[in-house]
Amino acid sequence: MADKIRWRCPSNIALVKYWGKRPNQIPANASLSMTLENSFTDIILTTGEKKKHGIELEYFFDGRPNEKFRQRVLIYLEENRRYFPFLNTRSIRIDSTNSFPHSTGIASSASAFGALSLALLTASGYTKADFYRQASFLARLGSGSACRSLFPDFALWGKLPGNAKSSDEYAIAVGTVHPDFYDWQDAILIVDDSPKKVSSSAGHLLMEGHFFAESRYRQANQHCQRMLDVIKYGDLEQFVTIIEQEALALHAMMMTSENYYLLIKPGTVLAIEAVMNFRKESKIPICFTLDAGPNVHIIYPGQYSGVVHAFLEDQMKAEVKRIIFDHIGKGPKKLTC
Residues in touch with ligand PMV (CB under 6 A): 14, 17-19, 31, 107, 109, 143-145, 200, 204, 250, 291-292
What's the CA angle centered on 22, arms 17 and 25, to 5 degrees? 70
Phi-psi map region of 89: left, alpha, beta (phi>0 left; psi -120 to 50 alpha): alpha
d(Cα 102, Cα 151) in Å, to the nearest integer?
23
Nearer to ligand PMV, 47 or 114 (CB): 114
Q: In this structure, are residues 58 and 98 in contact, taking their beta carbons and an 8 Å threshold?
A: no
* Nearer to ligand PMV among residue 2 and residue 26 (C-beta): 26
Distances (CA, A) of 262 to 214, 249, 324, 328: 21, 13, 24, 29
Give the nearer residue to ligand PMV in terms of CB position, either 5 or 172.
172
* Cross-strand pairs, 290: 296
Q: How far is the CB of 49 from ligand PMV (least distance, A)?
A: 35
Query: Closer CB to ligand PMV, residue 36 or residue 308?
Result: 36
> Smaller CB distance to ligand PMV: residue 6 or 251?
251
Min. distance of Cβ 202 from ligand PMV in angstroms? 10
Closest separation between CB of residue 15 and ligand PMV, Å?
A: 9
Smallest distance, ligand PMV to C-beta of residue 200, A: 4
Least distance CB 226 / ligand PMV (angstroms)? 17
Least distance in Å: CB of 231 to ligand PMV? 16
Residue 226 CA, distance from chain mean position: 20
d(CA 250, CA 18): 9
Q: Which residues contact 289 (CB under 8 A, 6 or more apart)?
A: 13, 14, 15, 243, 244, 246, 247, 296, 297, 299
Q: Helix, strand, coil shares of the chain as percentages rounded to 5?
A: 40, 25, 35
* Cα dihedral 232, 235, 241, 242 in deg (nearest 10): -10
Question: Quick one: 205 or 323, whose CB is closer to ligand PMV?
Answer: 205
